[in-house]
Structure 1
Amino acid sequence: MSRTKLDESAKPLYVQIKDIYRHKILTQELKRGDKIESELEIQKKFSVSRITVRQAMLDLEKEGMVKRGRGKGTFVIWRPGFEIPLNKFSGFTAEMERQGAEVATLQLQVSRRSMDPKTERMFKKHVKEEMICVERVRTVDDIKAVFSRSYYPLDDGLPEDEQEYGESVYEMLKERGVGAPARTKEWMHTELPNEEVEKALNIAANQPVLVCCCEVFDKDDQVIEYGVNYYRGDMYSFTYELKDE
């Protein structure tokens, strides 16, 4: 087995090993389903301790790159990034399932919030000055992929009990007689995650996220939802198709 020398004066050794395998996964040198060498093989390859190798693999697992199984080894679970079309109206779950991915809600928290001047302007038709905030961590193929925070007017009747929520809030709104989504206005930017987003998505502090803010309107052009979504920057790209009429 050929040995690879690490730079002991640079980053910690486990970070260097993690970065090497992360690069192999992102460049598809190691593909989804591939088995990574054993900890002992990696230990010999880089002339490091078993603890150093284990820390590198643990970090990769936290980032959703690999899955470790006792007695089975470490396998790549990462898949190439998803494209989300901006000129097509569809919910996150529906779009991911269309691309063959499995979506689930890992964490859900519902709370009541007071409106600020911005949301008061958005939800101007509503009498009550409070709103429901729904925070979710969504997984795609068992990887924490999106942290979302969505706001809805309190008088739309959404419950405050997390147990009553399914995958689609829009279906719940329809059941309560609220208009279905007719159009959205979205704006995006990239930023480094704050501590809350970093923890929610299990990503490093220096790993950028795509932030998508949106207003969802019904057929009467009234805002029925305001949302802020934090996407892992290494999992998603947004596309827009223009046609010459």
Structure 2
Amino acid sequence: MSGFSDAIDRRSAAPMYDQLRQLIVEGIERDGLQPGDALPGEHRLCEQYGISRTVVRQALAQLEHEGLVERVKGKGTFVARPRTAESLVHTLIGLYDEVERRGGHVRSDVLRHEREQADEVVAEALEIPVGSPVIALERLRYVDGDAWSLSTTWMPDAVGAVTLDADLREGSLYRLLADHGIRATHGVRSAEATVATHEQAQRLGVSAGSALLRLRSVSRDDSGRPIEFFVAYHRGDRSRFEFQLREEHSRASLLHIDGAGGASPAGTVLL
């Protein structure tokens, strides 16, 4: 690669790290760099622009936070792969359809797909008695070949039974259910930050303790019957959740957080 050109303007009111950040972005675009391509090292950037390593690290940290670069310890800094802009929180769209919409590809390793008895958590979410039969579907999801999320879906037996003989390695669960006349029309979803356990880290290809986004959802059909409950863990370095905000819906989107850390709807929350 040719390296970045131009210079830092020391008379500018803009911080030097922000100027360097912009120069790096412009250099990536000008040189046509692709995800995985290496960027100049910290020492080279210091020499080229006559700035301190602190300034360089501030610029790279900002770019990493924005998802534009990846820094690998002992190897250097690289152009990052674009994060999937997921609308999974405020819509009933699934990962398969979200990624397909942008021209990507989703495949799944089906880790478990079987009938089991609902425990207290699943029974409460699906509004069925504890011990009722449910269909559990656990999948490791890949986007364009990269491990992306680890999800477990539970469905009432009457709903999930239609999925048991289906091949869900390359297909959409929501489309399969829709083909059988089962459609989600509303529901409640939440997203929160967490960290990867050792087992989750191994499956997702990250280090234990890495940032994850946990998505929890209950979907209902037009009669109000719960048809699906899932918990999904998304890699924090690969996903970006997008929210569409409107003033007139702001009150309906508020959640009351109770003293025990739980959340309950303040009014009707449709996500």
Partners of 1:163 and 1:175 in 2: CA distance = 14
Residue 153 in structure 1 maps to residue 156 in structure 2: yes
Change (3 A) 1:106 1:185: same
**Match for 1:171: what amino acid?**
R
Cα deviation for residue 201 of structure 1 reads 0.6
Q: What corresponds to 1:32 in structure 2?
A: 35
User: Which residues of 2 match residues 1-245 of structure 1 at below 5 A?
Assistant: 31-32=34-35, 34=37, 78-85=80-87, 86-124=89-127, 129-156=132-159, 157-161=161-165, 163=167, 166-177=170-181, 179-245=182-248
Change (3 A) 1:231 1:112: same
Question: SS at the partner of 1:196?
Answer: helix
Unpaired segments ≥5 residues, structure 2: 1-23, 40-69, 71-77, 249-271
Give the root-mean-square deviation of aligned CA atoms: 3.0
Question: SS at the partner of 2:91?
Answer: coil
TM-score by length of 1: 0.63
Cα deviations across residues 25-45 of structure 1 (Å, max 9, x unaligned)?
xxx797315379xxxxxxxxx
- 8 A Cα contact 1:128 1:154, kept in partner: no
Partners of 2:131 and 2:195 in 1: CA distance = 35
What is the total number of aligned residue pairs between the two structures? 181
- 8 A Cα contact 1:126 1:153, kept in partner: no
Change (3 A) 1:108 1:100: same
Partners of 1:100 and 1:176 in 2: CA distance = 26
Q: What corresponds to 1:49 in structure 2?
A: none
Partners of 1:170 and 1:81 in 2: CA distance = 23
TM-score by length of 2: 0.58
Partners of 2:141 and 2:38 in 1: CA distance = 26
Cα deviations across residues 118-140 of structure 1 (Å, max 9, x unaligned)?
32233336898111110111111
**Match for 1:135: what amino acid?**
E
- 8 A Cα contact 1:110 1:162, kept in partner: no
- 8 A Cα contact 1:132 1:158, kept in partner: no
Cα deviation for residue 220 of structure 1 reads 1.0
- 8 A Cα contact 1:110 1:161, kept in partner: no
Change (3 A) 1:129 1:89: closer
- 8 A Cα contact 1:148 1:229, kept in partner: yes
Q: How high is the sequence identity, in percent, across the aligned residues? A: 24
Partners of 1:216 and 1:232 in 2: CA distance = 23
Question: SS at the partner of 1:205?
Answer: coil
Change (3 A) 1:129 1:242: same
Unpaired segments ≥5 residues, structure 1: 1-23, 37-64, 66-75
**Match for 2:83: what amino acid?**
G
Partners of 1:78 and 1:133 in 2: CA distance = 34
- 8 A Cα contact 1:93 1:103, kept in partner: yes
- 8 A Cα contact 2:204 2:235, kept in partner: yes
Structure with max Cα Rg: 2
